[in-house]
Structure 1
Amino acid sequence: MSSPWRPWMQRALQLAALGSGRTSPNPLVGCVVLDAAGQLVGEGFHQRAGTPHAEVHALRQAGQRARGGTAVVTLEPCCHHGRTPPCTEALLRAGVARVVVAMRDPDPRVAGQGLAQLREAGVEVVEEVCEAEARTLNRGFLHRVEQGRPLGLLKWAMSLDGRTALPNGSSQWISGPDARAWVHRLRAQCDAVIVGGGTVRADNPLLTSRGQRTPEPLRVVISRSLDLPQQAQLWDQTLAPTLVVHGYDAPAAARFRLDALGVERLVLERCEPLELLEALGQRGCNQALWECGPELAAAALQQGCVQQVAAVLAPKLLGGTPARTPLGDLGFVDVNQAVPWPTTRLQQLGDDCLLELSL
């Protein structure tokens, strides 16, 4: 049986999505407040970490009309002091009679305690309204809290015959302008965009959302040996920050060159995808986008660092036996070892086709 609160929760979820790409390490949260008669009197969403939460925005808008009313929130209200005061206290001060939530917050500092606090104060609590939608919206946040590392997205563009570049390395542009605009939107939803040294050498990428997100996602280059060009768009950090990840045996001269450019470096023992994502998780990254070459992409898949794949298929035939493909060797010796990924979306992007898969 459908909950009578579902339409309001769907509105709260729409509001929550407005903060996409801007709230990490926090989740996306939306809230609507109804008065005692069930009329909408306030709404809000969490806009950025360190700023007021969704409940606070909605309650401020509602004012005294919230007393005796209902707060519909996409995530369990927090009950701990962080950079902002607890939302449970704000709800209690506002005098709401009921709180409707989509899902509990898995953060150990909350984890049901926020709802318990509300119930103990006599507030009616309704749970699990549009829970599946809420979990999908905050999949990155949930993955980081539960696994200790960001959700991994792997994206590539390829020709109809499965090529990502010609034998001579030429790859711009396989996809059309609509697909490239989609990539900029995708980056805006992520906290980090990851490439390897080979991509920097071959493509000299910019890796920004082209202004669709402020601040821009962290641009990450993983290179054990720091075999990187002295000049690259990524070294100019006026648009977006760059982090270079390397091993302990990277040459001192290459380290000094990056330091002189003001590029942040991170030394990792193994300098592998899983180790990198664990480090990004500690920095509060909820979602990371792999835009790398075939060998790094294969390593990321093998180490469980990819939960979603997005492949743009362009209606072009590039040919060439040694031409580059999206993935390196995954170690399969039998076709049946390749497990099918469930398709979540098929979309037209101008002349190109987008196929999205998700574990």
Structure 2
Amino acid sequence: MSIPNHAQEAQDRYFMMLAIQQAKQGLYTTRPNPAVGCVIVRAESVVGQGFHPKAGQPHAEVFALQDAGASAVGGTAYVTLEPCSHTGRTPPCALGLIDAGIKRVVIAGLDPNPQVAGRGVKLLEDAGIEVTVGILTDQAEALNRGFLKAMRTQMPYVRLKIATSLDGRTAMASGESKWITSAQAREDVQKLRALSGAIITGSETIIADDPQLNVRSTQLCVSADQVPTPKVVVLDRRQRLQYDPKSNYQLCRQSEVLYWREDDLVKLLKRLVSDHQCYDVLVEAGAGVAGSFLKQQLVDELIVYQAPCLLGIKARPMVEFSPLSLAQQLRLDICAHEKIGPDLKLTLQPL
């Protein structure tokens, strides 16, 4: 396995970026598999490209090799994640690259999945193929934060979404909250749901708002019916809700909803990974649930949609969190900010 040299790096970065663009086409449809892209290059020209569209279907390398045909012989394959070395629902991609006559493989990052974890690289190198690892690794890993974290830690990547006023309020004292933020912001939330294997909410939110918590956007790069349905989890320690086909609440009429009656959120998150292969989790809930996830340091990413309005001191806070001193404050890093319609979207990570 070689480290990229300066002479090749600019070219490798260019073609790996093309592979990342391919991978993005499967971003909403591949769960629980990672989104992966592949580009085949020969004589500095792209001769084949492909992406993994859905679990159970061929991987990116297969589509790229089919696209390249005989032109793949002697070429270089750029892949956003280490080619698999095991037989699952599809054959090993590393063997496919070997059989196609590829002479060099450039990989953004290794696959931490224990079934792969360097074995794909070893297969390629044992076949005499030159392998380069470490091109645009951060950009490629950003596509699969949940999958990679779950493979490394058995915990999912947790995003907490909050819609708030300028003064940090999420609802009036009465509970009225529809709608603080704009239709554009709510449409953007659909992308977060489409990325998620599971959506966690609280029983209070169900009772107050009767949400659907589904993916129904018409503005994704794919139709909503192609997106795997996120598993809804309702935190309900007081056992106020249950499955009932005649319930007044939409989610309670769905038998697939999971009701979590325990206090242990870590146990829940681990179970979502081990039992349900939910690697990306979105928390859409009230101040109490949001505060619990933040206080227990279970949030990887906080997304705040802030509307340019003021709801006043009697309105409900965005998080139930009561530090006694500045030393106990929760500090966050602003990773990105953008305007969504009239609202401000902040993406933050706890420090």
TM-score scaled to structure 2, two decimals?
A: 0.90
Give 1:126-275 correspondences, 5 Å limit: 126-211=132-217, 212=224, 214-228=227-241, 230-237=247-254, 242-247=256-261, 270-275=262-267
Q: Measure the CA separation in 1 of the matches of 2:256 and 2:344.
A: 31
The CA distance in 2 between the partners of 1:147 and 1:21, in whole Å, is 23
Q: What is the rounded CA distance, in whole Å, between the counterparts of 1:341 and 1:351 in structure 2?
A: 24
Q: Deviations over 1:7-58 (max 9, x none)?
A: 11001111111111322222111001113x2221111111111111100110
Per the TM alignment, residue 59 of structure 1 is displaced from its structure 2 partner at its CA by 0.5
Aligned length: 331
Q: Which residue is equivalent to 2:27? A: 20
Q: Could you state the TM-score of these two structures normalised by the residue count of structure 1?
A: 0.88
What amino acid does structure 1 have at the position aligned with 2:266? L
Separation (CA, whole Å) in 1 of partners of 2:349 and 2:33: 23
Deviation at 1:305, TM superposition (A): 2.0
User: Which residue number in structure 2 is paired with residue 256 of structure 1?
Assistant: none
Alignment of 1:1-359 (within 5 A): 1=6, 2-35=9-42, 37-211=43-217, 212=224, 214-228=227-241, 230-237=247-254, 242-247=256-261, 270-282=262-274, 283-321=276-314, 323-329=315-321, 331-359=322-350
What is the deviation of 1:291?
0.3
Structure 1 stretch displaced more, 67-76 or 20-29: 20-29
CA apart distance, 1:242: 3.8
**Segments of 4+ moved more than 6 angstroms:** none
Kindly, what percent of the aligned residue pairs are identical? Answer: 41
Cα shift at 1:236: 4.3
**1:121 Cα deviation from its structure 2 partner:** 0.5
Task: Tell me the SS of whatever aligns to 1:4.
Answer: helix
Deviations 1:78-100 (A, max 9, x none): 10111111001110111111111
Whether contact under 8 Å (1:69, 1:98) holds in the other structure is: yes
| Gap regions ≥5 residues in structure 2 | 1-5, 218-223
C-alpha distance in structure 1 between counterparts of 2:63 and 2:146, whole Å: 23
Give CA-to-partner distance per residue, 1:117-162, whole Å, 9 cap, x none: 1011011111101112112222111111112121000011111111
Instruction: Kindly provide the amino acid, as one letter, of the partner of residue 245 in structure 1.
Output: Y
Letter in 2 for 1:232: Y
Gaps of 5+ in 1: 248-269
- Code of the residue aligned with 1:99 in structure 2: it is V
> Aligned partners of 2:343, 2:234: CA distance in 1, in Å?
28
User: Which residue does 2:3 correspond to in 1?
Assistant: none
Name the Cα RMSD after superposition. 1.6
Distance 2:256 2:252 in 1: 7
Cα distance, 1:271 vs. partner? 4.1
